[in-house]
Structure 1
Amino acid sequence: MNGHVKSLRVQQFMEPAAAFLSLLLLMAVHSSRAEAVRGNLQCGNFLQQMLGQTRLIHKESANLIKLYKASQGEMPEFFCKVPVSDIPDSQISGLQPAEKLASIWTHLQAFFPHLKWVYEQQTDLHLPTSPLLRDLTNVRVRSEWLVPIINSLHQSLFPNLSLPEPAVGATTLPPPQNVFQQKIYGCVVLKTYKEFLSNVSRELRNLKNVCNGRTEMKG
């Protein structure tokens, strides 16, 4: 067999192999792109769920504050601006998206005991059928629904990172209070929580681009 025939046979063998390798490479690229699109859609869905839920709670909390003030009798506006210790602040910390989402996670759960305590204080002042107690319950329950949504969003964006564990027992509730102190405490908690929700909505809007670039972030 001369060299020309050998060369021809090698070429005949290599061409299908090269075509097959090109096909595998094309399939891998297509699969990777499809996975990225699915991931972006999933991230975007979680983000929209959380943003929609946060906006709803923010709206309800604004109405709740009005109802709270009206139910307390004479209550000047500045009472709701009195500094109260041990209440979580409304600011979200962190520079990177993962840090901000973790801050939202910890702040949200830090508010839960205070929202519950406001409700328990008001049960001593209102009938069980009170619209105030009903709306306090609604805001607290809807807020708790945010927890699994945040967790899913975080897993979608940062699968290799864990959210911080809730600080069990770290929340400090106020000492026994008279009725006047309870009125101030409740209003400050609700007002601060409403401001926190507003900050959450702003940060979530900024995360839209992060969802679109999630594949770059994972690397």
Structure 2
Amino acid sequence: MNGHVKSMHFQQFMEPATTLLSLLLVMAVDSTRTVAASRNQQCGNSLQQTLKLTRLVQKESVDLIKTYKASQGEMSELFCKVSISDVPDPNISGLEPSERIASIYTHLQVFFPHLKRVYEQQTDLQSPTSQLLTELTVVSTRSRSLAALINKFYQSLFPNLPVPEPAGGATTLPPAQNVFQQKVYGCVVLKTYKDFLSNISRELRTLKNKVCRRTQINTFFF
């Protein structure tokens, strides 16, 4: 068998093998794309659910402030304008998406003791059937559900990173306050929390294109 015949046999052997290899590669790429698309869809659905709850709590926090002011008597409009230092920062920190989401979660955890303190203070100042107490309870309960969604979302995106903990340890609450100070504190806490929820909503919209984008896959053709 001369060299030309051998070359023809080799080509005849390699053509099916090359075709099969190309087919397997295309199938692998399609499978990877399908998995990536499914994960991106799950990511988008989870983010949309979280954003929906954030907007609901944000709306309820706006109504809560109106109810709060209406229940505090004279000078209620001035209470939120007083500057105090014992309220959490409403700003979200971090450069990477993982850091930004972690910041949202830890800030929520920091706000919870303050919301609880406001509720306890208003329990002494309002009647048991007060609408304010009801709205405070609703916002606090939904906020904990929001924290659970943020935590779940964070772990799904970054399974190898530890669950974030509030920076600085235990939350520092203000010392004993008189009635006027309590009214000021409550209004500032609720206003700051409303601002924080607005920041969360804005942040989640920004994160969507960063953490749920379509995965790009390079394909090779023979």
TM (normalized to structure 1)?
Answer: 0.90
Match of 1:144 in 2: 144
Q: Residue 88 of structure 1 aligns with which residue?
A: 88
Structure 2: segments with no counterpart, 5+ residues: 217-222
Shift, 1:133, TM fit: 0.8
Give the partner amino acid of 1:210: K
CA separation in 2, counterparts of 1:214 and 1:110? 34
- Which runs of structure 2 are paired with 1:5-16 in the superposition (5 Å)? 5-16=5-16
Distance in 1 (CA, whole Å) between partners of 2:38 and 2:179 is 54
Q: Does 1:79 align with 2:79?
A: yes
- The residue that corresponds to 1:202 in the other structure is 202
Deviation at 1:166, TM superposition (A): 3.5
* Deviates further, 170-179 or 189-198: 170-179
| Partner secondary structure for residue 125 of structure 2 | coil
1:17 Cα deviation from its structure 2 partner: 1.5
Say which SS state the counterpart of residue 213 (structure 1) adopts.
coil
Deviates more, 1:43-52 or 1:169-178: 169-178
Map of 1:116 onto structure 2: 116
Q: Distance in 2 between matches of 1:213 and 1:31?
A: 18
Structure 1 residues 35-77: Cα deviation after superposition (integer angstroms, max 9, x where no partner): 2211211111111111111111011011001111111111342
Q: CA deviation at 1:96?
A: 2.7
Aligned-residue offset at 1:169: 5.1
Deviations 1:182-212 (A, max 9, x none): 1111111000000111111111111121134
Contact 2:87–2:189, Cα closer than 8 Å, also in 1: yes
**Is it true that 1:164 corresponds to 2:157 in the alignment?**
no
Supply the distance in 1 between the matched residues of 2:57 and 2:34 (Cα, whole angstroms).
35
**Residue type of the partner of 1:178?**
N
Moved more, 163-172 or 41-50: 163-172
RMSD of aligned C-alpha atoms?
Answer: 2.0
Structure 1 window deviating more from structure 2 (172-181 vs 96-105): it is 96-105
How many residues matched?
216
Task: Provide the TM-score with structure 2 as the length reference.
Answer: 0.89
- Are the equivalent residues in 1 in contact too, given 2:58–2:198 (CA < 8 A)? yes
1:14 partner amino acid: M
Query: What corresponds to 1:127 in structure 2?
Result: 127
User: Which residue in the other structure is 1:20 paired with?
Assistant: 20
Question: Which segment is superposed worse, 105-114 or 82-91?
Answer: 82-91
Residues in 2 aligned to 1:168 and 1:129: alpha-carbon distance in whole angstroms: 37
Mapped partners of 2:126, 2:138: distance in 1:
16
Which secondary structure state, in structure 2, belongs to the residue aligned with residue 81 of structure 1? coil
1:117 aligned partner, one-letter code: R
What amino acid sits opposite 1:64 in the alignment? L
Specify every segment of 5 or more residues in structure 1 that has no aligned partner in the other structure, as ranges: none
Q: Which amino acid aligns with 1:101?
A: I
CA deviation vs aligned residue, 1:113-143 (integer Å, no higher than 9, x gap): 0001111111112232221111100000100
Query: CA 1:161–1:129 in structure 2 vs 1: closer, same or farther (change >3 Å)?
Result: same
Deviates more, 1:168-177 or 1:25-34: 168-177
Q: Deviations over 1:65-91 (max 9, x none)?
A: 111111111134232121222311111
